[in-house]
Amino acid sequence: MANTAENLEQRVRRLEDRNKKVEADKAWETSWARRTLLTLFTYLAMGVYLRAIGIGSPWLNAVVPAVAFMLSTLTMPFFKHGWLGSKNKQMK
């Protein structure tokens, strides 16, 4: 009996540890730090690419895809909420 209780405690502890990791991952996925870094990386990558292919004003033109990416990350929760709402209606 004690072995079963210890086993159960270990399983609960592992689940709690896993939940903490999942919560931390979720916080990172929705953080402004992540969005800012991805926008910056998008801007830099597009600037380098546009410069490499000889587009005029590559650093100015790189703003467009970077801003588009940022807008997509800001609007995604709205669309997710709508999608989840329709999915929940279908499940009822």
What pLDDT, on the 0 to 100 scale, is given for residue 90?
Answer: 82
Q: Is 54 left (phi over 0), alpha (psi -120 to 50) or beta?
A: left
Give the residue from 41, 88, 90, 29 showing the smallest Cα distance to 66: 41
Average pLDDT over residues 52-73: 95
Beta-strand runs (E) in 2-89: none
Determine the Cα–Cα distance for residues 16 and 21; give it in Å rounded to an integer: 9
What pLDDT, on the 0 to 100 scale, is given for residue 1?
Answer: 57
In the block, which residue shows the tokens 């929760």? 77
Q: Tell if the pTM clears 0.85, that is, is over it.
A: no
In the block, which residue shows the tokens 């000889």? 54
